[in-house]
Amino acid sequence: MRTKMTEMFGLDTPIFAFSHCRDVVVEVTRAGGMGVLGTTRLSPQELEAELRWIDGHTDGRPYALDLALPQKLEKVRPMVERDKALPREHVEFVEKILREAGIPPLPPDEHQRFLDSSPGYTLTARGGMELIEVALKHPQVRLVVSALGVAPKEMIDLLHEKGLKVGALVGRVEHAVSQVNAGIDILVAQGMEAGAHTGNITSMVLWPQIVDAAAPVPVLAAGGVGRGRQMAAALALGAEGVWCGSIWLGTRESELSPEMRERFFAAKSEDAIQRRVFTGKQCRMLRSKFTDAWDAPGAPVPLPMPQQIMLVEEARARIERAHKKEYMGYYVGQLVGDMKEETSTKSVVYDMLTEFADAVERLQRQIGTD
Ligand SMILES: Cc1cc2nc3c(=O)[nH]c(=O)nc-3n(C[C@H](O)[C@H](O)[C@H](O)COP(=O)(O)O)c2cc1C
C-alpha cells in the first residue's frame, strides 16, 4: 500500500496500533505497520526498559510513542497526600462499594507501593519531557503523539530538531485547527465510539471534517476501526491510514487479565459506556458493577482529573487482586461487541488487510472499473 503515512515512515501498511503492551507494539511493527506505545503508566526508567526491549525485537523498523499531556496539570500530588486531596464523601463512597462487594484492602507492602507511586505524574509537561529525553536515545522512535492537548512549543521544536514527527489526537475541528497552528505533522481524528478518552462526534462525521480542516496535514482515522471494511471506509473518507486501540485487547499479546478477557468476549457494543469514573474526564470503558454504583441515585459526581484517578486507582487494584470479575473494568470502544474469542495481533493485521482488499475489489466491481 502507498499513502502519505507509508511514505513518511517507510511502512508496508498504514495501520497504527496504539497499545500499552509492548508485545502488541512489536507485533504490528514487525507486520509492516507502526506500533505506538502508550506511556501514561511508565516512569522514565520503566520506559527505557520497554524501549530497549522493543528495539531488540523490531529489526530496526520505526515505531512511535504516545504521551498524554493535559496542559493544566503541572502539579500532581504524590499518592501519599491523597487523603488530604480528596473529599471525605468520595473516599467513603468508594470504600462502601468495596466493603459491600467483600473486597479486602491491599496487604501492607502492596499498599505502601501504592502510596509511593504518583499516578498521573507523566500527565504533566515536565513528566512528558522526561519521557521524551528517554525516547530520543532510541532512534527507531520516529513519531511522538500527544493525547489530551497541544504539546508545549519547546517539546514540538525539540522533536522536530531531532528529526521526529509529531502527532496529536483530536475529536473536534477546533482542536484540529489549534494543533495544525502549533505545527504538528499528523492528526489522529478519533470518533466517539473509540475506547478511553473521547469526544462526542462519531467517526463517520468527524473524519472528513478533520481531513478538510487540516489539509494538507495528513489524518489517521481512529475510533471503531478493527477490520478491513472499516479501514476501507476510513481511506474513502480521506484518511491516510488508521489508528486502532481496542481491537488489540482481544489478542493473546494484550495486557488483559484472563478474567477481563472473558468479560470482553461476553460484552456487547452497548456495554462500552462513556463515563468519568476512572479519570475524571469522559472515557469509554466497559460497564461493570463499579461503574453501575456511580450511576446509582445518590452517588457523588466524579472528581476532576487527576483527583478521580487518585480516588479509584487503589480500588481498581483491590478489585483485580480479589478477582472480582463483575467489578473489573477497562477502557474499550464499541468494537468490544465484535470481539468473541482470543486472536493474535498478527492475524488481526492480516485479516484487516485481506478484508480491505476484498472491500476495494467490491467497490471497483460496483463502479465497473475492475
Ligand atoms: C485500553 C485503551 C487505553 C488507551 N489509552 C490511551 C492513552 O493513554 N493515550 C491515548 O492517546 N489514547 C489512548 N487510547 C485511545 C487510542 O489511542 C485510540 O485512539 C482508540 O483506541 C481508537 O479507537 P478504538 O478503541 O475504537 O480502536 C486508549 C484506548 C484503549 C482501548
Give the CATH number, domain containing residue 67.
Answer: 3.20.20.70
Ordered DSSP codes for 271-323 = GEEEESTTTSS-EEEE--HHHHHHHSTTPPPPPPTTHHHHHHHHHHHHHHHTT
Q: Which of 93-107, 126-140, 217-231 is predicted least confidently?
A: 126-140
Amino acid at 182: A
**Least-confidence region, from 51-65, 129-143, 201-215, 297-311:** 297-311
In a domain, 108, yes or no: no
For atom 11 of ligand 1, the residue with the nearest CA is 147
Report, as an integer, the average pLDDT of 140-160: 91
Q: How far is the CA of 197 from the centre of ligand 1 (A)?
A: 7
Can you read off the three cell numbers belonging to residue 8? 513518511
Atom from ligand 1 closest to the CA of residue 195: 25
Q: Phi, psi at residue 82, to the nearest 5°? A: -55, -50
Contact 353, 361 (CB under 8 A): no
Q: In percent, how much of the chain has pLDDT > 90?
A: 80
Q: Is residue 96 part of a domain?
A: no
CB 337 within 8 A of CB 269: yes
Residue 310: band (very low, low, confident or very high) from pLDDT cuts 50, 70, 90: confident
Ligand 1 contacts CB of residue 203 (under 6 A): no
Cβ neighbourhood burial of 120 (10 Å; 0-12, 13-18, 19+): buried
Give me the chain's average pLDDT, please: 92
Query: Largest alpha-carbon pair distance within the chain?
Result: 69
16: Cβ below 6 Å to ligand 1? no
Compute the distance from residue 241 Cα to the ligand 1 centre, in Å. Answer: 16
DSSP SS3 for 143: strand
Query: Which residue type sits at 140?
Result: Q
Q: Average of pLDDT values for 306-312?
A: 87
Say whether pLDDT at 333 is over 60. yes
Looking up cell 531488540 gives: 56
Please check whether residue 100 lies inside any domain of the structure: no
Q: How confident is the model at residue 99 (pLDDT cuts 50, 70, 90)?
A: very high
Q: Does 181 reside within a domain?
A: yes
pLDDT for 305 equals 82
> Per the domain annotation, does 306 fall within a domain?
no
The pLDDT of residue 368 is 87
Is the minimum distance from the CB of 68 to ligand 1 under 6 angstroms? yes
**Which of 53-62, 108-117, 143-152 reaches the highest mean pLDDT?**
53-62
Ligand 1 site, residue 169, Cβ cutoff 6 A: yes
Instruction: Assign 130 a pLDDT band (cuts: 50, 70, 90).
Output: confident
Residue 193 CA, closest ligand 1 atom number: 26
Does 245 sit in the ligand 1 pocket, CB within 6 Å?
A: yes
Write down the pLDDT at residue 323: 94
pLDDT tens-place string over residues 172-188: 999 999 999 999 999 99
- To which residue does cell 467517526 refer? 203
The CA distance from 130 to 272, in Å, is 33
Q: Has residue 214 got a pLDDT over 60?
A: yes
Report how far residue 78's alpha carbon sits from residue 342's, in angstroms, rounded to the nearest whole number. Answer: 38
Within-domain flag for 307: no
Is residue 20 within 8 Å of 354, Cβ to Cβ?
no
Residue 136, pLDDT above cutoff 90: yes
Domain membership of residue 185 (yes or no) is yes
Residue 306 and residue 120 in contact, taking contact as beta carbons nearer than 8 Å: yes
Average pLDDT, integer, range 69-79: 57
**With a 6 A CB cut-off, is 294 part of the ligand 1 pocket?**
no
Domain-embedded: residue 323 = no
Cell matching residue 338:
465484535
Q: In this structure, what are the phi and psi dihedrals at residue 335, rounded to the nearest 5 degrees?
A: -60, -15
Is the distance from the beta carbon of residue 65 to the nearest atom of ligand 1 less than 6 Å? no
Choose among 309, 307, 304: nearest CA to 40: 309
Checking if the pLDDT of 218 tops 80, the result is yes
Query: Which protein residue has the closest C-alpha to ligand 1 atom 14?
Result: 196
Whether the per-residue pLDDT at 72 is higher than 90: the answer is no
Which residues constitute the domain of residue 242? 4-73+121-252
The alpha carbon of 49 and the centre of ligand 1 are apart by a number of angstroms equal to: 22
Type of residue found at 233 = A
User: Does 79 or 368 have the greater pLDDT score?
Assistant: 368
Confidence of residue 80 (pLDDT cuts 50, 70, 90): low
Answer whether 224 contacts ligand 1 (Cβ < 6 A). yes
Q: How far is the C-alpha of 263 from the C-alpha of 249, rounded, in Å? A: 12
CB of residue 332 inside a 6 A radius of ligand 1 = yes
| Count of domains for the chain | 1
